[in-house]
Structure 1
């Protein structure tokens, strides 16, 4: 009889593991394709605010990655949107081939990898022909890897810029980019509206931002605005777009309800997995201003977590726990 056991992996265990942008982007793309083709399942995430007046919110996501045949449960809790030290997120994986539990691990690095991978894939699919510039707004965890992932997937981008106000975040953004692209120039901007109007691809991943809320109407014709669940995006941005995409329409209703119009729930033209496999177009015309709402889907967490777990186990990291004995 096989005794079920979990590999427990901490944030420290996962921190030094090498996993490049290309590997993560390929894993996330495979996950979206499997979902679009009906092999995976991704129920809408559950969100609950905590009624204590502490500005706390919790999330729960369940999914099945048909490519890996892994079931994943992800949980997140944050007390105070401005306090990164009070944000905790975990993921547990179960192998559907063997019917056994596999890993329970910190999900901080997973989320910080699969989110920019999704951004890069959306940018690649939705950017207009001839796009040459990208702007990253925000220097927190969600945006830290965005520019190197964009440069990996869209090597033809000539101008890469960012906006940030927190000194540690600014420094980390520059250092992280130059780890992957030591010879490339990265420009810091200070006028967000002007930089948006001069960029082909705009990624907003700012929280309670120190900049005017970004509007789709600021984009140049053919521009694309990708909101990574950003509070720094104006609530008019979806309605004002010529074409609108979401990673998942159900999750847009949960985490993007502020984009609802007075007439009802916000509507989109396509879900991104359908765009990725060619079932739906990424835009109607080259001059369209495109808005894309990116809300994390657990099917993209699962393959990244699975890859990191395997690397950690092969390196002898973590510990095994026989929880069910």
Structure 2
């Protein structure tokens, strides 16, 4: 059987430069990621990620593998961060995903995931926020890096009735990028994080390790949800929340060392996103609940969304075929 991606013995490469300018439809991205979570209860597989941390926060590395039954795609993903806390002014980030078609056994592509990772994380954040606070009218994003810049457009795709958008950060260029990401909607730059959090229905912790201030539990109003996918939401929100949801309880246990109490304990997860989307579990118990949502990256969404991006790139004539095997 001939693959549409590359002839036998060759591999299709999709570096970041070949993905720039692709016409991503945020609504479709949301649907692709949602279907990947639904398929986790219908034939997909997503083992816990393997994490390696060097002493003294010298570097952070992790790898994941998953099979998305919906698209028939297998994904192998690797990430390496050097100086993740930006303490030596030498930060480096390298990542890739290798995709294979599990219906005919052919390789799809080896692709950079600088765009893919934040895009699927932002979609997951939007799904968690919509489930826990479907009537939200205000959102606060903490962080202005790539994750922060993708948060608002995806939230707006999931919750178009959002009226007030706010961002907290320290870098002027990042703040401008977040404001530009909202498609012309006004975005307020926050000077007082506590005051902003007290009024927000949705709080997104999308900052990096160098974040200077984090939203606390006492700042969360009844009925609000805090979604953590990086930093910017304090551990006391997790421990003090009325209800806790996660993409995966197992992934949370494997990746959230920063959230543990002094005795090393973590509160239990009340519901996982796939079960919430299927209607098998609630996203909260009471409308007044403060909900903590943990968004850990899951390779099954990389598989599904990577396939979507690869097909867009193929249709646009992007990428390069190289003899590999």
Question: TM-score scaled by structure 2?
Answer: 0.92
Q: Deviations over 1:105-154 (max 9, x none)?
A: 101110121111111111110016x4211111110111111111111211
Match of 1:71 among 50, 69, 74: 74
What CA distance in whole angstroms lies between the structure 2 residues aligned with 1:42 and 1:161? 34
Q: For the Cα contact (< 8 Å) 1:215–1:236, is it kept in 2?
A: yes
SS at 1:237 equivalent: helix
What CA distance in whole angstroms lies between the structure 2 residues aligned with 1:30 and 1:170? 32
Change (3 A) 1:283 1:84: farther
What CA distance in whole angstroms lies between the structure 2 residues aligned with 1:99 and 1:12? 27
In the alignment, does 2:128 pair up with 1:122? Answer: yes
What CA distance in whole angstroms lies between the structure 2 residues aligned with 1:275 and 1:176? 28
SS at 2:115 equivalent: helix
Q: Report the counterpart of residue 48 of structure 2 in structure 1.
A: 44
Q: Report the counterpart of residue 8 of structure 1 in structure 2.
A: 13
Structure 1 unaligned blocks of 5 or more: none
Q: For the Cα contact (< 8 Å) 1:43–1:62, is it kept in 2?
A: yes
- Following superposition, the deviation at residue 33 of structure 1 comes to 0.6
1:228-243 to structure 2, matched below 5 A, reads: 228-230=229-231, 232-243=232-243
Q: For the Cα contact (< 8 Å) 1:238–1:244, is it kept in 2?
A: yes
SS at 2:181 equivalent: helix
SS at 2:149 equivalent: coil
SS at 1:281 equivalent: coil
What CA distance in whole angstroms lies between the structure 2 residues aligned with 1:189 and 1:145? 18
What CA distance in whole angstroms lies between the structure 2 residues aligned with 1:216 and 1:269? 18
Match of 1:21 among 26, 34, 43: 26
What CA distance in whole angstroms lies between the structure 2 residues aligned with 1:238 and 1:277? 24
Q: For the Cα contact (< 8 Å) 2:136–2:159, is it kept in 1?
A: no
Q: For the Cα contact (< 8 Å) 1:72–1:92, is it kept in 2?
A: yes
In the alignment, does 2:36 pair up with 1:31? Answer: yes
Q: Report the counterpart of residue 259 of structure 1 in structure 2.
A: 259
In the alignment, does 2:147 pair up with 1:142? Answer: yes
Q: Report the counterpart of residue 316 of structure 2 in structure 1.
A: 315
RMSD, matched Cα = 1.7
In the alignment, does 2:60 pair up with 1:57? Answer: yes
Change (3 A) 1:12 1:84: farther
What CA distance in whole angstroms lies between the structure 1 residues aligned with 2:221 and 2:233? 16
Question: TM-score scaled by structure 1?
Answer: 0.92
Structure 2 unaligned blocks of 5 or more: 3-7
What CA distance in whole angstroms lies between the structure 2 residues aligned with 1:263 and 1:167? 37
What CA distance in whole angstroms lies between the structure 1 residues aligned with 2:268 and 2:324? 45
SS at 2:147 equivalent: coil
Q: For the Cα contact (< 8 Å) 2:83–2:91, is it kept in 1?
A: no
What CA distance in whole angstroms lies between the structure 1 residues aligned with 2:109 and 2:205? 32
Change (3 A) 1:30 1:169: same
- Following superposition, the deviation at residue 99 of structure 1 comes to 0.9
- Following superposition, the deviation at residue 210 of structure 1 comes to 4.6
In the alignment, does 2:106 pair up with 1:105? Answer: no
Q: Report the counterpart of residue 303 of structure 2 in structure 1.
A: 302
Q: Report the counterpart of residue 200 of structure 1 in structure 2.
A: 201
What CA distance in whole angstroms lies between the structure 1 residues aligned with 2:57 and 2:161? 45
- Following superposition, the deviation at residue 85 of structure 1 comes to 5.5
- Following superposition, the deviation at residue 263 of structure 1 comes to 6.5
- Following superposition, the deviation at residue 267 of structure 1 comes to 1.4
Q: For the Cα contact (< 8 Å) 1:237–1:259, is it kept in 2?
A: no
Give every structure 1 segment of 4 or more consecutive aligned residues whose post-TM-superposition deviation is greater than 6 Å: none
- Following superposition, the deviation at residue 264 of structure 1 comes to 2.9
